[in-house]
Structure 1
Amino acid sequence: MKTPARLFFLPLAFSLLASALPAADAPRIAVMQLRHETVTFLPIETTREDFVYPGSPAAGEDLLQTEPKGDMGGFVKVAREYGAELVGIESPGMPRTGIGSGWVTRDAYEHFVGRMIAELKAQGPFDGVYLAMHGAMAVRGIARPEAELARRVREVVGEKAFLAGTFDPHGNEDEAFLEHADFAFAYKYYPHYDGHLQGERAARMLVRAIRGDYRPTHAVRTVPILSATVYQWTGQPPWSTLVQRCLTWEAREPDVFVNFFYGFPWADVPDSGMCFQVITNDNAELAKTVADDL
């Protein structure tokens, strides 16, 4: 009897299915977000209630499906291509007041971060953590809220886990976040059309670090310059020149990543201003060289 042709494809189908399943040693990664671009000169504060609306907070797959064309979408896509198990930790979205509202209250920050940290403890252990952030959040009584979140996450997951974050280049950042995290990836362009790419990078490098293929080393340089956001378009100098210099270093040296934070001048915070961050693979001297050049 002649065997139907379709039966010959069954072994191949089962083989492909097996290869698509996560391996037993697939990395387990927690996914969180905390974003706001705070204008501290506005009189109305951003409260806990402003972060609560349909779709926010979100957890599990609902969180992983936010911003599918942005950094979150890029991270989820590539992490799953690597077979990673992703755990969406309940996190708030951007407040309904929009990207330009006043100081975030301490109550709002402690409420949501407290819930995030509690769930991180309950769902652990994790090999890595991904933090989707903006970088220009300003919180009453907390000088560097993104770095403080990374510090609290590190306390939970321990020193062996790896932390990666993605940022808007209008963030006010310095060395504080990378004192607790391993990676930071900021969008390079304004308008911000490369968020998906930076999310992809965060996933790829987080998995490489977990596998022992990348040992992140950092160098950070802050520059005492504040510039108006209306002049930060990356389609013309001087911003296009600075972005191109970052890209040149990334193209010239394998495994080098450069963040250029333009800064957000509408926030009266300690780290307001321009910043360059350089990440290399176990090469502190190269990181210093690139940072000094920029």
Structure 2
Amino acid sequence: MTRIAAFGIHHETNSFSSRKTTFESFQRSGLQREGIQRGPRIEEMHRGAKTVFSGYFESADRLGFDLVPILFAATDPGGTISAGAFDQLVEEALGVLRNEGPWDGVLLNQMGAAVSEHYPDMDGEIARRTRRTVGPNVPVVMTLDLHANVSHQMADETDALVIYHTNPHLDAVPRAHEACDLLMRLISGDISPVHALEMPPMVIGIMHQNTNDHPMRGIIDDLLEVQKRPGVLHASVGQGYPWSDVDEMGFACYVLHESSEEEARRLVRWMAGRAWDRRAEFVEEVGLTPEEAVRHAFAADARPVVLLDAGDNIGAGSSGDSTVILAEALRQGADSFLQTLRDPEAVAACDAAGVGGAVDIWVGGKTDELHGNPVAIKATVKVLSSGAFEDSRALHAGWTFYDQGRCAVIECDSGPTLLLVSTSIGNVSIEQYYSVGVRPEEFEIVVAKGVISPRPAYEPIAAELILVNSPGATSANLNTFDYAHRRTPLYPFEETATYR
């Protein structure tokens, strides 16, 4: 039976985050409840879910190959990955790859926006080391998140890249199926493809990355059109992850063709050119200030109004403890108000008080100076919980198991309800609240810390979702960041940038 190895190390690295990502960060991750999974445990955690690994297992059943899951490590977006974490995780995976072969093929399950202390293109370095380990004749196919900062090293060290087509990320399973189909055709010798990668000098900001809305919808329509062309095996784009300060940061187009380099180049340049022609649409200002957003929510006829906190976008590497919108809501007198805050210190105080106890504490704003100041709160502790919950619905990235650490629900004397958590996880599942007895749909204003990833969870209950241009480590205003390693010129930083 065909024997295929699979492993992955997932991280989106925010170079501007003050929180370094260590090996312990992976160990205590709230994603999939266990940040580091090995061997059979990977199947236990992913089979039946909606992740890339879920699609790998389904494909193994469908196509009849022996899938050998080696390692899957994932943690929430954050700061640069330490050299120690990189070495420990990568060497563990490659050690198994080296010692437990031979292999007919390899599946790499990566994000595409990881940065370590020694390797700015960490995903590309993993691809390079994998290639050196298995040799030139073992096919390697890499799946990537749509936020990938796609590099030539990623493309050149693999036989194929397969990138998500949706944001929110709801197509992990079909892209995994596609990757497995390509890998099996490579193994059989049915195809010997060539690729083309084009990186026009442009960045797409987070506020315009929703693939359900234009202008991004138009780019996805273009790649789907290219996929219909004779000989095209896969076409995709990388939206880019603008908070990674690396040379590859930005938009990219990729085409995999069964035989013609010339046709692959022609098609990828057509895609890139079409995106470049729309570049101004991707910098049009959208969203409201925190003050405007809260005022708008107060005036709304239907509730709840969900405020999408761009500056404290947990899924992009922010702290999860911004108090900017909370402080504004208190200033304007909001009482029916709900949000999460990562604050293990405040959770400990609630634990000490016990359910029904009163607390007089400062919450949030403790990570750095980017996310507001701690807010003085007098409140009653309503719920204490271990923080583990599950959600099998189709949500961003397809996760099923979550763990936000020890947590507390408090009702503030001034009105708002806060879910204080010890581990920062994105607000991508409504079960985050349901699991502790809170019904977000019963509030007038709900804050979701993110821009696009919370939508699948909150759209069913929201009367309206409002983008909020808040400050923070994931501010939508990229001019607030001091880049040192990005390409120049790069639009919109340099409006004189040219292409073609």
Q: TM-score range by the shorter chain?
A: 0.7 to 0.9
**Matched position secondary structure for 1:223:** coil
**Matched position secondary structure for 2:129:** helix
Q: Could you say which structure has the larger radius of gyration?
A: 2
Partner of 1:10 in structure 2? Answer: none
Partner of 1:35 in structure 2? Answer: 10
- Find 2:211's aligned residue among 219, 234, 237: 234
Query: What are the Cα deviations for residues 239-276 of structure 1, in whole angstroms up to 9, with x where unaligned?
Result: 11111000011123354311200111111111100001
TM superposition shift of 1:196: 0.7
Partner of 1:185 in structure 2? Answer: 162
Aligned mates of 1:91, 1:70 — CA distance in 2: 12
**Matched position secondary structure for 1:118:** helix
TM superposition shift of 1:65: 4.4
Counterpart check, 1:57 vs 2:36:
yes
Partner of 2:172 in structure 1? Answer: 195
TM-score, normalised via structure 1 length: 0.86
Partner of 1:158 in structure 2? Answer: 135
- Find 1:287's aligned residue among 244, 264, 272: 264
Counterpart check, 1:91 vs 2:72:
yes
TM superposition shift of 1:140: 1.0
The residue type paired with residue 53 of structure 2 is M
**8 Å contact kept, 1:262–1:273:** yes
Aligned mates of 1:254, 1:77 — CA distance in 2: 26
TM superposition shift of 1:143: 2.1
Aligned mates of 2:60, 2:231 — CA distance in 1: 21
- Find 1:244's aligned residue among 221, 228, 231: 221
TM-score, normalised via structure 2 length: 0.52
Partner of 1:219 in structure 2? Answer: 196
Partner of 1:176 in structure 2? Answer: 153
Aligned mates of 2:198, 2:165 — CA distance in 1: 17
Partner of 1:70 in structure 2? Answer: 51
Q: Larger deviation: 225-234 or 192-201?
A: 225-234
Aligned mates of 2:44, 2:190 — CA distance in 1: 28
Counterpart check, 1:147 vs 2:124:
yes
The residue type paired with residue 134 of structure 2 is V
Aligned mates of 2:16, 2:35 — CA distance in 1: 26
The residue type paired with residue 72 of structure 1 is F
**8 Å contact kept, 1:31–1:130:** yes
TM superposition shift of 1:213: 0.6
The residue type paired with residue 200 of structure 1 is H
Query: What are the Cα deviations for residues 162-221 of structure 1, in whole angstroms up to 9, with x where unaligned?
Result: 001111111111221121111111111111111111000000110011001111211010
**8 Å contact kept, 2:26–2:35:** yes
Q: How does 1:262-281 map to 2 (within 5 A)?
A: 262-281=239-258
**Matched position secondary structure for 1:102:** coil
**8 Å contact kept, 2:21–2:82:** yes
- Find 1:125's aligned residue among 96, 102, 123: 102
Richer in strand (by share): 2
Aligned mates of 1:69, 1:268 — CA distance in 2: 30
Q: Against the structure 1 CA distance between its residues 64 and 255, is the aligned structure 2 distance closer, same or farther, given a 3 Å change threshold? A: farther
TM superposition shift of 1:292: 1.4
**Matched position secondary structure for 2:247:** coil
| Number of residue equivalences | 265
Richer in helix (by share): 1
TM superposition shift of 1:227: 2.3
TM superposition shift of 1:155: 1.1
TM superposition shift of 1:61: 2.5
TM superposition shift of 1:79: 2.6
Aligned mates of 1:204, 1:227 — CA distance in 2: 30
Q: Against the structure 1 CA distance between its residues 66 and 137, is the aligned structure 2 distance closer, same or farther, given a 3 Å change threshold? A: farther
Q: Against the structure 1 CA distance between its residues 258 and 65, is the aligned structure 2 distance closer, same or farther, given a 3 Å change threshold? A: farther
Aligned mates of 2:215, 2:16 — CA distance in 1: 27
Query: What are the Cα deviations for residues 33-66 of structure 1, in whole angstroms up to 9, with x where unaligned?
Result: 1110111101110001111146342222222344
Partner of 1:11 in structure 2? Answer: none
**Matched position secondary structure for 1:164:** strand
